[in-house]
């Protein structure tokens, strides 16, 4: 029996479900029960009917799944698969902002640690950040940890005072306007679709800026046949599956998250077999962080 068959067998035997982010390798995406961006996965995690959740992604995703499913076992294929940006804010700075600024909401990008979620008023994703910030009653918004997504929100919600933190996604942060111009020169007929974690100079030159799921949907709806994609290269797998008649180019060959690529079929098999690499969070952290995540889900109900 091959490794894929073994994974499917164990999944059925243990009443397990596999969630995978678009940025993991294609083989892992293909065996997952559900593939999505952070917002879709957050919603799916809360609605899961399984005893075990195997989260094919990075550490903050496993933590989020555990926060939303405290009675379930959450396993990570690789505990070393982390997100540097998730740590790029401090509890001390959050408290300082609360002490110094009245009428303040701390808005936490879901790409963050459980500790940061715990001291936030609401979580957001790149799919819903603009809508949620616009709905908040507070005038002042301290947006953690990503400064680029915060800047994107700032421009679209000018009625709020959005205060930027100094964090960033290393993969998206490396993109520049020069990369965009070079790609457009090489592929003049292609539209440029990017993630708002990219720097403002990149977003300003794009034809579309949005979440990973937003990019996938925008490509599907577009009549164009060529696209320059400015987000992690793993999304190309889904784009090509849904749009075999269209051509895709990466904005830069550097759009690779090495942490996401740590997740392999072999590691999926091992954690399912051994029920190892379980996510553990203390009950107080989960209880308090849950409020910020649940507020996000409640505010985005249609």
85-168+289-299 fold? Rossmann fold (3.40.50)
Identical fold for domains 3-82+260-280 and 85-168+289-299, yes or no, is yes
Per residue in 225-265, pLDDT tens?
Answer: 999 999 999 999 999 999 999 999 999 999 999 999 999 99
Q: What CATH homologous superfamily does 171-257 map to?
A: NadA-like (3.40.50.10800)
Predicted TM-score (pTM) of the model is 0.93
d(CA 281, CA 279): 7
What local confidence, expressed as pLDDT, does residue 37 receive? 85
What local confidence, expressed as pLDDT, does residue 300 receive? 87
Per residue in 132-187, pLDDT tens?
Answer: 999 999 999 999 999 999 999 999 999 999 999 999 999 999 999 999 999 999 99
Calculate Rg over the CA atoms of the chain: 19
Q: Does residue 291 carry a pLDDT above 70? A: yes
How far, in Å, are 18, 87, 156 from residue 115 at the CA level?
A: 25, 9, 28
Q: Does residue 46 carry a pLDDT above 90? A: no
Is-contact 16 52, C-beta < 8 A?
yes
What local confidence, expressed as pLDDT, does residue 36 receive? 92
For the segment 258-281, the average pLDDT, to the nearest whole number, is 97
What local confidence, expressed as pLDDT, does residue 302 receive? 60
What local confidence, expressed as pLDDT, does residue 198 receive? 98
How far, in Å, are 8, 13, 98, 218, 270 from residue 273 at the CA level?
A: 11, 10, 46, 39, 5
What local confidence, expressed as pLDDT, does residue 229 receive? 98
Give me 73's structure tokens: 């076992």
pLDDT-derived band at 48, boundaries 50, 70, 90: confident
Q: Could you please report the per-residue DSSP string of 230-259?
A: ES-TTHHHHHHHH-TTSEEEES-TT---TT
3-82+260-280 fold? Rossmann fold (3.40.50)
d(CA 74, CA 94): 28
What local confidence, expressed as pLDDT, does residue 137 receive? 97
Mean pLDDT of the chain: 96
Q: Which secondary structure element, helix H or strand E, spans residue 291, and what is its range? A: helix 283-299
Looking at the chain, the whole-number percentage of residues with pLDDT higher than 90 is 93
Give me 259's structure tokens: 């942490």
Query: Where does residue 295 rank: exposed (0-12), middle (13-18), buried (19+ CB within 10 A)?
Result: middle
* Residue bearing tokens 């957001």: 124
Domain boundaries, the chain: 3-82+260-280, 85-168+289-299, 171-257
* Residue bearing tokens 């715990």: 118
* Residue bearing tokens 């001390």: 92
DSSP conformational letter for 261: G
Q: Enumerate residues 6+ apart whose C-beta is below 8 A from 157.
A: 130, 133, 134
């Amino acid at each position: 029996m091959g490794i894929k068959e073994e994974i499917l067998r164990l999944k059925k035997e243990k009443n397990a479900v596999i969630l995978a982010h678009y940025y993991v390798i294609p083989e892992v995406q293909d065996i997952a029960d559900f593939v999505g961006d952070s917002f879709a996965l957050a919603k799916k995690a809360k609605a899961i009917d399984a005893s075990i959740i195997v989260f094919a992604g990075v550490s903050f995703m496993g933590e989020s799944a555990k926060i939303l499913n405290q009675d379930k076992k959450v396993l990570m294929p690789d505990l070393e698969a982390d997100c540097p940006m998730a740590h790029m804010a401090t509890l001390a700075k959050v408290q300082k902002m609360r002490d110094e600024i009245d009428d303040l909401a701390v808005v936490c990008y879901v790409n963050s640690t459980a500790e940061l979620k715990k001291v936030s008023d609401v979580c957001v994703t790149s799919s819903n950040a603009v809508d949620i910030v616009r709905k908040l009653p507070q005038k002042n918004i301290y947006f953690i940890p990503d400064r680029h997504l915060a800047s994107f929100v700032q421009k679209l919600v000018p009625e709020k005072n959005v205060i930027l933190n100094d964090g960033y996604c290393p993969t998206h942060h490396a993109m520049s306007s020069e990369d965009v111009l070079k790609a457009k020169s090489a592929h003049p007929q292609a539209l440029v679709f990017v993630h708002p974690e990219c720097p403002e100079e990149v977003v300003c030159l794009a034809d579309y800026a949005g979440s990973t799921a937003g990019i996938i949907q925008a490509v599907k709806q577009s009549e164009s046949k060529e696209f320059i994609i400015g987000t992690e290269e793993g999304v190309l797998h889904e784009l090509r599956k849904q749009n075999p008649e269209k051509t895709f180019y990466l904005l830069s060959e550097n759009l690779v998250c090495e942490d996401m690529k740590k997740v392999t079929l072999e590691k999926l098999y091992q954690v399912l077999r051994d029920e190892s690499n379980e996510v553990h969070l203390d009950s107080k952290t989960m209880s308090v962080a849950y409020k910020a995540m649940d507020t996000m889900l409640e505010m985005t109900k249609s």
